[in-house]
Amino acid sequence: MATEAFTIRAETEIVHKLDDLAGSLDRSRNYLVNQAIKEYLETHAWQVEKITQGIAAADRGELVAHDDVMREMEDLIERKAKGNA
């Protein structure tokens, strides 16, 4: 896989924590930063996809009434309180 260099500026404390963790894991700072960026991108891509799906569903009128949601949540809480969840 091709790589490309770029520079970031980070707070000194963050850099020190990153270096400490890299040393503990016997990994490079570069490896940890790449892993963190991958996880961030995957998480946010998933969130954006779910939000987009939700907006599309709302545009199609596929909504649940607030009162129905609240009633279901109250039922779940009651069952949980009784130990029947």
Quickly state the pLDDT bin for 85 (edges 50, 70, 90).
low
CA angle 19, 39, 28 (to 5 degrees): 25
Residue 80 is predicted with a pLDDT of 93
Q: Is 18 exposed, middle or buried (0-12, 13-18, 19+ CB in 10 A)?
A: middle
Range of the domain at 40: 12-82
Is 5 a domain residue? no
Sequence-distant (≥ 6) Cβ neighbours of residue 76 within 8 angstroms: 85
pLDDT at 83 (0 to 100): 86
**Tokens at residue 48, please?**
């954006």
Domain assignment present for residue 1? The answer is: no
| pLDDT over threshold 70, residue 75 | yes
> For the segment 19-74, what is each residue's pLDDT rounded down to a tens digit?
999 999 999 999 999 999 999 999 999 999 999 999 999 999 999 999 999 999 99
CA distance 30 to 22: 9
Total number of domains in the chain = 1
